[in-house]
A = this chain, B = another copy of it.
């Protein structure tokens, strides 16, 4: 019988876990641990490197991540626009060719199927860079059920993220001055030295200036990564894993932990996604929720005490005056705020900033005193990632 902690177990391999073309590349760069995301292995930790080092590289230099797990779902065909517009509360007419949108995909209950960044590649052609759920099955099911003339497939493309204040200089060294004109949430085609074809978006999961780079030739991903490292290292770039501290500070949500098929857009504070339009999946449900109000909402919280671990194994229970009032889905140490911060879905009556709550990992363990705070923790206007890089750019 095991005598240790309930959570002290090993995770083991399965043939079902896919390896993208980036797997061996990041393995050779020193990635020592991986997790599972969208059926694909995802590099997390790097030999001899702490999450604190990675955090300050994101804030002051740059980091390079394997986000092959965001393999795009490609929508195409004559009914491509109709399908994309049906799938989301956002008005996709406002997404020009060349533009990207952070796009909630809701089910018929107004709850979260996925929250991809969508690239509009053409009149009817879109890439959805998904978080962790089989949103391609949802989109394809809707298309087949509705008889739309749209195709939905997983593209054979695996992006990386280059994030941090030095990322513009790194991309500039690789594709030239044009990168300065790439605005926040737009994309461009480019070539890396040696004619490596790429698509670059100005998007990311950090709240810092950053890019995602999609190599369009899988035989050349290692060359692409080598070039980014060669140009980036002198500017402070390191290969790294996604940084929860930075994304939680920025109030960026993580599908399947902060939200899922049981949470609706109002509970998540994402009602700004709902734009006036005639028809989309979940419209009636969301109108009903708006009318009736919500019973719980996502909040931030702050906790004093020892720095928390970077990888959170939850959910934790949230208490108010000894009674359970919700669950915490994130808990991490913020090196900028110098305190532990987290995200929790709690009863609406306790969501006002300043409310005192408690959070607990397992029954019988200590309860940490916490205070509810407004999201995001830093940079509410996203001034950091939106920073203009070229004064001549149209606003």
Give me the interface of A with B, judged by CB distance under 8 Å.
1-2, 6, 9-17, 24, 27-28, 30-37, 39, 44-45, 47, 107-108, 113, 132-135, 137-148, 154, 254-257, 261, 281, 311-315, 329-330
Q: Contact at B144–A15, with CB atoms within 8 Å?
A: no
Q: Contact at B107–A144, with CB atoms within 8 Å?
A: yes
Task: Report the minimum CB–CB distance from A252 to chain B (whole Å).
Answer: 14
Of B9, B10, B281, the residue contacting A144 (CB under 8 A) is B281
Sample (17) of A-B pairs whose CB atoms are under 8 Å apart: A1-B30, A2-B27, A2-B30, A2-B47, A9-B34, A10-B33, A12-B34, A12-B35, A16-B37, A16-B254, A16-B255, A39-B256, A107-B144, A133-B137, A134-B134, A141-B141, A141-B145
Task: Report the minimum CB–CB distance from A35 to chain B (whole Å).
Answer: 5
Copies in the complex: 2
With A2-B27, A6-B24 already in contact, 20 other A-B pairs whose C-beta atoms are closer than 8 Å:
A1-B47, A9-B31, A10-B34, A11-B33, A11-B35, A11-B36, A13-B311, A14-B35, A14-B36, A14-B313, A15-B314, A15-B329, A16-B254, A16-B257, A113-B137, A134-B137, A134-B138, A138-B138, A141-B144, A145-B148
Q: How many Å lie between the Cα of A232 and that of B36 in the bound state?
A: 35
Task: Report the minimum CB–CB distance from A132 to chain B (whole Å).
Answer: 6
List the 7 closest pairs (A to B, CB-CB), nearest first: A141-B141, A145-B145, A134-B134, A145-B146, A11-B11, A15-B257, A137-B138
Of B146, B148, B315, the residue contacting A15 (CB under 8 A) is B315
Kindly list chain B residues whose C-beta atoms are within 8 Å of the C-beta of A24. Answer: 6
Q: Contact at B132–A16, with CB atoms within 8 Å?
A: yes
Q: Contact at B261–A154, with CB atoms within 8 Å?
A: yes
Kindly list chain B residues whose C-beta atoms are within 8 Å of the C-beta of A10. Answer: 11, 32-34, 45
Most chain B Cβ neighbours within 10 Å, of A31, A35, A140: A140
Kindly list chain B residues whose C-beta atoms are within 8 Å of the C-beta of A147. Answer: 145-146
Known: A141-B141, A145-B145. A33 touches B12 (CB 8 A): yes
Q: How many Å lie between the Cα of A10 and that of B35 in the bound state?
A: 9
Task: Report the minimum CB–CB distance from A288 to chain B (whole Å).
Answer: 16
Of B1, B34, B313, the residue contacting A28 (CB under 8 A) is B1
Known: A47-B2, A140-B141. A15 touches B132 (CB 8 A): no
Task: Report the minimum CB–CB distance from A330 to chain B (whole Å).
Answer: 7
Nearest B residue (CB) for A329: B15
Task: Report the minimum CB–CB distance from A261 to chain B (whole Å).
Answer: 7
Most chain B Cβ neighbours within 10 Å, of A15, A37, A281: A15
Nearest B residue (CB) for A17: B36
Most chain B Cβ neighbours within 10 Å, of A11, A12, A32, A141: A141
Q: Contact at A313–B137, with CB atoms within 8 Å?
A: no
